[in-house]
Amino acid sequence: MTSHVVVGAGPTGTATALLLATTGDDVRVITRRGTGPSHPRIELVAADATTRLTELSGGAATIINCAMPSYDRWPEEAPALSAALLSAAEATGAAYVSLSNVYGYGPVDGPLTPGLPMRPTTIKGEVRTRMYLDGLAAHEAGRIRFAEVRPGDYLGVAAFALFNLMIAPNVLAGQEIVFPADLDVPHSWTYTGDVAATLVAVARSEASWGRAWHTPQTSDIPIRAMAARFAEVAGVPLPSIREMTALELHAQATADPVMAEMPEMQYLYRRPAVMEWTDTATVLDLKPTPLDDVLRELATS
């Protein structure tokens, strides 16, 4: 019987564990507090993954990492998590699938493709790049099997995402949306359930190792259009929406540690950021959940 270790039980970790369990595999979910989804095939373990991951990964076919430190603590805390994941994979023989994002590409003219070189221009991009290159080096040296999954901006219930923080609540409350972005450039959006499907497909495919994979994209429409579509699906009027000024962003960044991380990521929101995922469709046989289904779930949650 195949078993897996999933590190983290946020929306993506939870969806990944449930998908593995409901399709017949055993799953051990590791979080600091022992939280996670309830299922007969899922074991919840309270542990610090940076110290006990090797011990808890024995016999697993795959370690799937869906955890990261607090958004404002990546440089300080991510290296220990990354080292623990690599060590556990090498010591146990488990394959290692890392959930990441597109920060490592840096600003790109044209579509974001999974074969682009890593050219980060931000602190968080450097963190993600180092995690990927360390995993890839271990794979190429024959010490582990490694692959990475990269989504776009998240859409999904409870996801830590700007849509959930700054768009959806305002649409439902009929309040002005003020968003730090060019509201009219194409932008890729990924449903958390499709992230889980990609992680599981990569974990189960012999063709997936030694590279990065992009998740299926639910939509590439601009932020203004996404807000309008959400309002239509929710059956409410679209409130006014405008671009946040530099002064407003500075004020929010000064007041909130998470918003303080936003200025360096502005390049992803002030130019087209569209992900190409042809390989995922053809090799892993995946397709995205329809946008209206995702938005309806958000509107009724």
Look up residue 288 and give its two tokens.
Answer: 């995205």
Strand, coil or helix: what is 112?
Answer: strand
Is 293 among the domain residues?
no
* pLDDT of 1 strictly over 80: no
Together in a domain, 24 and 58: yes
* pLDDT of 148 strictly over 90: yes
Task: Decide if 123 contacts 75 (C-beta within 8 A).
Answer: yes
Tokens 């409901």, located at residue = 22
Is 74 among the domain residues?
yes
Tell me the pLDDT band of 103, cut-offs 50, 70 and 90. very high
Together in a domain, 251 and 205: no
Summarised one tens digit per residue, pLDDT across range 234-289 is 999 999 999 999 999 999 999 999 899 999 999 999 999 999 999 999 999 999 99
Number of separate domains in the chain: 2
Provide the whole-model pTM.
0.98
Together in a domain, 214 and 226: no
Summarised one tens digit per residue, pLDDT across range 155-213 is 999 999 999 999 999 999 999 999 999 999 999 999 999 999 999 999 999 999 999 99
Distance CA 111, CA 26 (A): 37
Together in a domain, 159 and 54: no
Together in a domain, 253 and 169: yes
Structural domain boundaries, residue 164: 155-185+221-268
- Angle, helices 74-92 vs 49-56, to 10°: value is 10
Look up residue 52 and give its two tokens.
Answer: 């006990």
Task: Decide if 66 contacts 77 (C-beta within 8 A).
Answer: no
**Average pLDDT over all residues of the chain:** 97
Distance CA 69, CA 20 (A): 24
pLDDT score at 258:
85
Distance CA 171, CA 156 (A): 16
Together in a domain, 41 and 73: yes
Together in a domain, 143 and 181: no
User: Taking the CB of residue 202, how many other CB atoms lie within 10 A of it?
Assistant: 28
Together in a domain, 104 and 172: no
Distance CA 258, CA 262 (A): 7
Q: How far is CA 78 from the centre of its chain?
A: 15
